[in-house]
């Protein structure tokens, strides 16, 4: 069974939002206060709104993040914004390597890696996005693409505290399409295996978000999938009702999962105690129990 990680629901407003959107954000803040404290909530507005929203969010359950940054601290880079500037304005997370940046601005994996390091230099956490296009999926290259993106975009210094991985199939972004839960399970399991292989201890605790057409109606189902530790939400994060609907579905799902895990582990301990009593044998670390840990499928490699 995978370790239970705290769920993160992150809203990515992309190039949307004016000061006139602040009341919508205030509605999110009001609704978030009523949610059980089981999920971490984050909204990443455009840079122009980071300071105003960080001010409003102070002391609330919603953290503020930003989208993209330059790799340098400062300098002659007209129109760019550094991670330090975004952190100074109130951002605690910065999204880097989103497929829209990779496609529209030609950002390479190496550039994304430098940006993640810039985010850390400024004292924030990086959300690094990876994902395959429709053509790559159709060609059966999904896992190869993800392996390459992850190995080249994630810096060696990555840890569970400074990094969140977001799997966002490009074909699912803004299209209303989502992979099946079985596909998501396979891919998130694959990503988990890769990060654990590279960072044996930290990789188990790194949060892996799913992104691409997450809505209130599919959030609980997606969050129930193994190794899905939250969501990166685009369009549906712009409206308080939708964003809070997703957060509520995830909070419910994560509460349910915790209760379920508690029951399973209690039953397991009971069973182990009984068998220990009977045969003097099965406890934590016992090879028979360790073998139960599911390995994730890799058929399409
Ligand atoms: P979407 O976008 O939820 O609108 O599909 C997700 C994203 O690109 O982060």
H, E, C per residue of the chain: CCCCCCEEEEEECCCCCCHHHHHHHHHHHHHHHCCCCCEEEEEECCHHHHHHHHHHHCCCCEEEEEECCECCCCCCCCCCCEHHHHHHHCCCEEEECCHHHHHHCCCCHHHHHHHHHHHHHCCCEEEEEECCCHHHHHCCCHHHHHHHHHHHHCCCCCCCCCEEEEECCHHHCCCCCCCCHHHHHHHHHHHHHHHHHHCCCHHHHCEEEEECCCCHHHHHHHHCCCCCCEEEECHHHCCHHHHHHHHHHHHHHHHHHHHHHHHHHHHHHHHHHHHHHHHCCCCCCCHHHHCCCCCCCCCCC
Long-range residue pairs from 197-205, CB within 8 A, at least 24 positions apart, any chain: 198/151, 198/154, 199/158, 199/159, 202/158, 202/159, 202/160, 203/160, 204/2, 204/3, 204/160, 205/3, 205/5, 205/160
Per-residue pLDDT, 256: 58
Per-residue pLDDT of the chain (301 residues; tens, 9 = 90+): 355 899 999 999 999 999 999 999 999 999 998 775 779 999 999 999 999 999 999 999 999 999 999 999 999 999 999 999 999 999 999 999 999 999 999 999 999 999 999 999 999 999 999 999 999 999 999 999 999 999 999 999 999 999 999 999 999 999 999 999 999 999 999 999 999 999 999 999 999 999 999 999 999 999 999 999 999 999 999 999 999 999 998 877 666 555 554 444 454 444 544 333 333 322 222 322 222 223 333 333 2
Residues involved in catalysis: 98, 168
Cβ-based neighbours of 204, under 8 Å, separated by 6 or more? 2, 3, 160, 192, 196
Atom of ligand 1 nearest to the CA of 99: 8
Per-residue pLDDT, 236: 98
Residue 24 CB neighbour total at 10 angstroms: 14
Q: Which of 18, 41, 12 lies closest to 250 in space, CA to CA? A: 41
Atom of ligand 1 nearest to the CA of 174: 5
Q: Pick from 65, 131, 173 the residue to mutate for probing ligand 1's pocket: most ligand atoms within 8 Å of its CB.
A: 173
Q: How far is the CA of 155 from the centre of ligand 1 (A)?
A: 24
User: Which protein residue's CA is at the shortest distance from atom 6 of ligand 1?
Assistant: 234
Atom of ligand 1 nearest to the CA of 237: 3
Cβ-count burial 34-44 (b if 16+ within 10 Å, e if not): ebeebbbbbbb
Q: How far is the CA of 37 from the centre of ligand 1 (A)?
A: 24
Per-residue pLDDT, 254: 64
Per-residue pLDDT, 278: 31
Q: How far is the CA of 179 from the centre of ligand 1 (A)?
A: 13
Pocket of ligand 1 (CB under 6 A): 12, 168, 173-174, 211-214, 232-236
- Length of the chain equals 301
CA dihedral (14, 18, 19, 21) in degrees, to 10, reads -70
Q: How far is the CA of 175 from the centre of ligand 1 (A)?
A: 9
């Amino acid at each position: 069974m995978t370790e239970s990680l705290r769920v993160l629901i992150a809203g990515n407003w992309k190039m949307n939002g004016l000061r006139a959107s602040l009341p919508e954000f205030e509605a999110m803040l009001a609704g978030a206060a009523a949610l059980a404290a089981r999920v971490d909530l984050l909204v990443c507005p455009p840079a122009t709104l980071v300071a105003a929203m960080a001010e409003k969010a102070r002391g609330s359950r919603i953290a503020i993040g930003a989208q993209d940054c330059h790799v340098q601290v400062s300098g002659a880079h007209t129109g760019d914004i550094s991670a330090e500037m975004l952190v100074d304005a109130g951002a605690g997370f910065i999204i880097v390597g989103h497929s829209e940046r990779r496609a529209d601005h030609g950002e390479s994996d190496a550039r994304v890696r430098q940006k993640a390091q810039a985010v850390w230099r400024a004292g924030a956490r990086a959300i690094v996005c990876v994902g395959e296009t429709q053509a790559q999926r159709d060609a059966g290259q999904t896992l190869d693409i993800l392996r390459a993106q992850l190995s080249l975009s994630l810096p060696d210094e990555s840890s569970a505290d400074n990094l969140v991985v977001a799997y966002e199939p490009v074909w699912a972004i803004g299209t209303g399409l989502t992979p099946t839960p079985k596909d998501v399970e396979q891919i998130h399991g694959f990503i988990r295996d890769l990060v654990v292989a590279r960072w044996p201890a930290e990789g188990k605790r790194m949060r892996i978000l799913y992104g691409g057409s997450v809505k209130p109606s599919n959030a609980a189902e997606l969050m129930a999938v193994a190794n899905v530790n939250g969501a990166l939400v685009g369009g549906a994060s712009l409206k308080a009702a939708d964003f809070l609907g997703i957060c509520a579905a995830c909070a419910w799902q994560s509460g349910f999962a915790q209760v379920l895990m508690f029951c399973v582990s209690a039953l397991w301990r009971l069973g182990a105690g009984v068998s220990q009593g009977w045969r003097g044998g099965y406890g934590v670390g016992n090879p028979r129990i360790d073998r139960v840990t599911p390995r994730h499928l890799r058929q399409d490699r």
